[in-house]
Amino acid sequence: HLHVDTAGSAPHTNIGMATSSPQLVMLVSCLAALALAAGAGEADGRPKARRFVTASGARFMAGGRPFYADGFNAYWLMYMASNPADRSKVLDVLDQASRLGPTVVRTWAFSDGQGSDRPLQITPGVHNEQVFVGLDFVIAEAKKRGIYLILSLVNNMDSFGGKKQYVQWARDRGHYLGSDDDFFSDALTQQFYKNHIKRMVTRVNTFTRVAYKDEPTIFAWELMNEPRVPSDLSGKTMERWVASMSAYVKSVDPKHMVEIGMEGFYGESTPERKRFNPGQGYTGGTDFISNNHIPTVDFATIHIYPDQWLPGSSSHAQVEFTKRWMASHIEDAGKALRKPLLVAEFGWSARSGGYTVAARDGYFRMVYDAIYASVKGGGPCAGGLFWHVMAPGMESWTDGYDVVFERSPTTAAVVSQECAKIHRITSAV
């Protein structure tokens, strides 16, 4: 894929630890526990992350009421939280989310191989406790603030290891694999991946003492970030893999929703819809309709990157593509899939021609307007997560799409306004 999300060496922020008496430590611990419990309430009217979100037809539901997933991506949360000196960045972003109103944040629950900086899974089945504690911290802090998390389980791209690392692990065990796409069909790579899933869902959080599979703060498991199988454009390899892996997740964790992580390319099951795809009907070996039809997939996702998918095109052409892309998928989620649709990534790069903050804000408003129209009309589009938020001090991580709320007050206002509009609808239900 095309947006860069490789971890760089980010500056560290030191957090001083004051010395305390045992009585003070006990008092602080009790207050923290009370704060965590209080964070599970709904005093501010926002649905708090204390109830499992489920899919019912083309709607998300939480506690018997419709739920809408407005928020953003912050893929780096576990990475930063794995070093206590960097946790202030995580807290900064979660505090901003709590103030502005987003309900869902999507982040990585993977970092595979010794080539990764701060790996979670060092070798197959061997996990790094320090990094796992970082993920524990992210979940615990999101829970305090009533924010749900989508946790992605592996990357299609090479950054943070990805499917390439799983294929290399299988080769190291003597399996001959011709390409990284063999990740989706080789028995050993699939077993490695299943082992990672099981370790993830059975993990007991060191802060909350709740197993991940029992934690309502987790909104859904994502099978892979932007899966593609270019070696099989029929979509059948992907369909078999999704069916097998989504069923496995459900077998070890029946409480949480599962989504694939797809970008939304139409495939062979609906050839007439391929005209909506970028690049002369490019499918990436995926099939939006048939892959998301699988019963153990709870909701569909799309990503939107017209600046990458339509290189050299005008801003006007990219905006028109976005409108068509959203309209076609909203229609199909409601009529063909009868499942909720989440715009899981969208953004406007500062590296695009003609970029201004005002242009980005206008693009965000356009996407939000389409989501709002679907929500207000009882349609299946249940929210949007823009790509992506970073904290101050992460300049070396920039990919052009990053938003630092403290430095982007107009964008923060656009996000907050969308969340408030959606909240007014949910409050009226």
Read off the pLDDT of residues 118-167 as tens digits, 9 standing for 90 and up: 999 999 999 999 999 999 999 999 999 999 999 999 999 999 999 999 99
Nearest-angstrom CA–CA distance, 408 and 350: 13
Distance from the first to the final alpha carbon of the chain: 40
Asked if 215 is an active-site residue, the reply is: no
Question: What is the 3-state composition of the chain as percent helix, strand, coil, each rounded to the nearest 5?
Answer: 45, 15, 40
Place of tokens 């704060």: 35
State phi, psi for 171 to the nearest 5 degrees.
-60, -40
**Residue 187: CB partners within 8 Å, gap ≥ 6?**
none
* Under 8 Å between Cβ of 60 and 68: yes
**Structure confidence at residue 29 (pLDDT):** 36
- Give the SS3 label for residue 110: coil
Tokens 């709904």 correspond to what residue? 42
pLDDT in the model for residue 50: 79
Helix (H) or strand (E) holding 423: helix 409-428
Angle (CA) 284 288 321, round 5°? 80
Q: Which 8-state DSSP code applies to residue 311?
A: T
Rounded Cα distance between 107 and 101, Å, is 18
Please pick, among 226, 239, 259, 418, the residue that the annotation labels catalytic.
226
pLDDT of residue 115: 81
pLDDT for res 279: 81
Determine the Cα–Cα distance for residues 71 and 267; give it in Å rounded to an integer: 28
3-state secondary structure of 300: strand
Q: Give the model's pLDDT for residue 311.
A: 87
Q: Spell out the domain ranges in the chain.
A: 51-428
* Record: fold of 51-428: TIM Barrel (3.20.20)
Which H/E stretch holds residue 324? helix 315-332
Cα–Cα distance for residue pair 215/50, rounded to 1 Å: 8
In the predicted model, residues of the chain with pLDDT beneath 50 are 1-47
> Do 294 and 243 form a contact (C-beta atoms < 8 A)?
yes
pTM for the predicted model, two decimal places: 0.89
* Predicted local confidence at residue 426, as pLDDT: 81
Dihedral of CA atoms 326, 327, 331, 333 in degrees, nearest 10, equals 0
Strand 59-62, strand 65-67: pairing: antiparallel
Question: Which pair of tokens denotes residue 122?
Answer: 């060092």
Q: Give which of 300, 288, 260, 290 is closest to 382, Cα–Cα.
A: 300
Closest CA to 395 of 1, 9, 81: 9
- Is 395 a known active-site residue? no
Q: Per the structure block, which two tokens stand in for 108?
A: 């990585």
Task: Tell me if residue 398 falls in helix, strand or coil.
Answer: coil
